[in-house]
Chains A and B, each alone.
Chain A
Amino acid sequence: MPETTIHQPVEKPRNPHIENFKNIVKRLKKNKAAMVGGFLILLFVITAFVGPYLVPFSAGEQVLVNKLQGPSAEHWFGTDHLGRDIFSRIIHGMSITLYIGFFSVVIGAIVGVIFGIISGYFGGKIDTLIMRAMDILLAFPGILLALGVVTILGPSLNNVIIAVGVFSVPSFARIVRGSTLSVKELEYIDAVRALGASDFRIIVRHVLPNVFSPIIVQATLRIATAILTAAGLSFLGLGAQPPKPEWGAMLSDGRNYIFDAGHVALFPGLAIVIVVLAFNIFGDGLRDALDPKMKS
């Protein structure tokens, strides 16, 4: 339908920095799913900070006589094999999950963005070198790379963050490189250069703001993947160690008691699904709002 869009005003060449931001917020507000996702994430963050003070039990409080009880008025999600309140542990674990998701992606994003910008902006040999290195990292599919890193560093919560961070680097580097290449082609970058701006200044003032949108979208979606990967590592006993109320580790406990008490595995898993879902919905919405062309 070629003519349906014709009635729209012709788009003016826009100042990519300010105008974009207003548009993004406007478009994001229109996307109901994204608003729901964003609201949920906000709720989770608040829960992570405030929740532990509100729940009836501490993360480690054991009442062995009450072990493996099903959901009840006192223990909403039941108790685990040590008689700990699963609901309270999930709420306590919220901060761990968000912490892993956030910091692993921040590490991956910072390293990936630096690589991507250098690669895209300078091109040539350094571009080939970086991109080959990224290809090598990408040759380790799924959680294999994270497994490798954990093998070297040993199992712990912080090592999981590093492992998942490393695992996120190539995706950021690739996206940022692509965006940098297209920004570099813009005429106004030539103009800025002609005015004598240094490479560093051009990158910080002109390239970075323009690659900001894809980075944010990628980061949001990556948090979802990071949470899943980290939970998987903990489930395998290679991440957060007991008695930390990490959801993946809780699931690992749940697996041992699956014959007697299915609820032990049910609720931590549901918690993971909901948090990951929220980030995925929000990321999808952001992508639609920031850059409709970027649909994967």
Chain B
Amino acid sequence: MSQNENVLEISDLRTSFFIEGDEIKAVDGVTINVPKGKTVGVVGESGSGKSITSLSIMRLIQHPGEIVEGSISMNGEDLLSKSERQMQQLRGNQISMIFQEPMTSLNPVYTVGEQISEVYRIHQGLSKKEALTKSVEMLELVGIPSPKERIKQYPHELSGGMRQRVMIAIALACNPELLIADEPTTALDVTIQAQILELIKKLQSQLGMSVFLITHDLGVVAETCDYVAVMYAGKIVEYADVHSLFRSPKHPYTVGLMQSLPRHDIDQEELNVIEGNVPKPGNMPDGCRFAPRCPFASDICEKRLPDLDELENGNKVRCWIYSDEWDGKAEVNVVDDYKTAGNQ
């Protein structure tokens, strides 16, 4: 993968929150690229740092949070060295973002039209009238019926799915190169979820943008992503193209996530859940952060944090099982042995 194919390159990003003198490392050394025109998914449980990663890209981390280290560059330009003013010109223009909560993400005191037009007025300097005309077009594009009437409405007059469409319209108004979608469908009904994902996919191919999709839902990943990063406790534990990931997941955590998905093809007596919780920041394990919950954990896992190593096919995994130093059971098949390993 040569450099200029990537729209976004994040390397060794560290974002922390400083609360009462303690540093809470929400994102702890994340490296990830988003190739042009592709969709990269970031999966993980709540607290894995995936949303903070996306807000870091936008440089929207608020006090007491701070980007401590690393670099984020878009088309070769370093975002972290840009002034706030320069970032404002990028946001909503070249990089856009949509959020998890469509119900609360729109400003209740302005009409839908005002909120979409604002983007055109800021970034393209359009007049009120021109901006409104464009807003109507945009609403039409995201599939909102009778857009001319809709632009006069306030957010509380729209359903959740409609509001998320409006959010998408706002985000895509200026034809951005990169769309960051932070759990865009989590708060919606299942049928609406599918529609919204379909819409994002359709517009992506129409407009040729790249998508950075944050989700905790592997089903969404399977449907939409080209590449996937699995995050756990502030670090990436596995990075792979979507086919390899689902065909042969490498990290025990990824396997755990997949086995916790409800399956339709076999009879299931119960859902498998990963036991335990994401470690608390004040209480990070010294070794692999997943070790306390990992059925394969051996001595080395508890002592040293593994690196994110590249595998033969170019995918990456942060797990001792695949290193020469592995001191556990010789032949481990993470998928087949996952359920039984813990019981030994």
Contact = CB atoms under 8 A, between A and B. Distances in A.
Contacts of B24: 4, 7
A6 interface: yes
A4 B65 contact: yes
Contacts of B26: 3-4, 7
A196 interface: no
B280 A9 contact: yes
Interface string A1-32: 11110110100000000000000000000000
Given A6-B46, A7-B24, A1 B280 contact: no
Interface string B49-68: 11110010000011001000
A23 B144 CA distance: 50
B17 interface: yes
A1 B55 contact: yes
A6 B234 CA distance: 12
A290 to B, nearest CB: 20
Nearest to A30: B20
A3 B51 contact: yes
Contacts of A2: 51, 100
B100 to A, nearest CB: 7
A6 B45 CA distance: 10
Given A6-B46, A7-B281, A1 B100 contact: no
B280 A7 contact: yes
B160 interface: no
Nearest to B64: A4
Instruction: Provide the main secondary structure of the chain A interface.
Output: loop
A2 B50 CA distance: 11
B236 to A, nearest CB: 16
A3 B62 contact: no
Nearest to A2: B51
Contacts of B285: none
A227 to B, nearest CB: 34
Nearest to A6: B47
Interface in B294-331: none
A284 B51 CA distance: 34
A222 B231 CA distance: 51
Interface in A6-61: 6-7, 9
A7 B46 CA distance: 9
A3 B52 CA distance: 7
A9 B51 CA distance: 19
Contacts of B65: 1, 4
B216 to A, nearest CB: 12
Contacts of A1: 52, 55, 61-62, 65
A7 B55 CA distance: 17
A63 B24 CA distance: 67
A288 to B, nearest CB: 15
B47 A3 contact: yes
Q: Max chain B CB contacts within 10 Å: which of A1, A4, A7?
A: A7
A80 B86 CA distance: 66
B178 to A, nearest CB: 21
B61 A3 contact: no
B47 A7 contact: yes
User: What are the 9 A-B residue pairs with the smallest beta carbon separation, nearest first?
Assistant: A6-B47, A3-B51, A7-B281, A6-B46, A3-B52, A4-B17, A7-B280, A7-B47, A1-B62
Given A7-B24, A7-B47, A7-B278, 16 more contacts: A1-B52, A1-B55, A1-B62, A3-B26, A3-B46, A3-B47, A3-B49, A3-B50, A3-B52, A4-B52, A4-B65, A6-B46, A6-B47, A7-B280, A7-B281, A9-B280
8 contacts: A1-B52, A2-B100, A3-B49, A3-B52, A4-B65, A7-B24, A7-B26, A7-B280
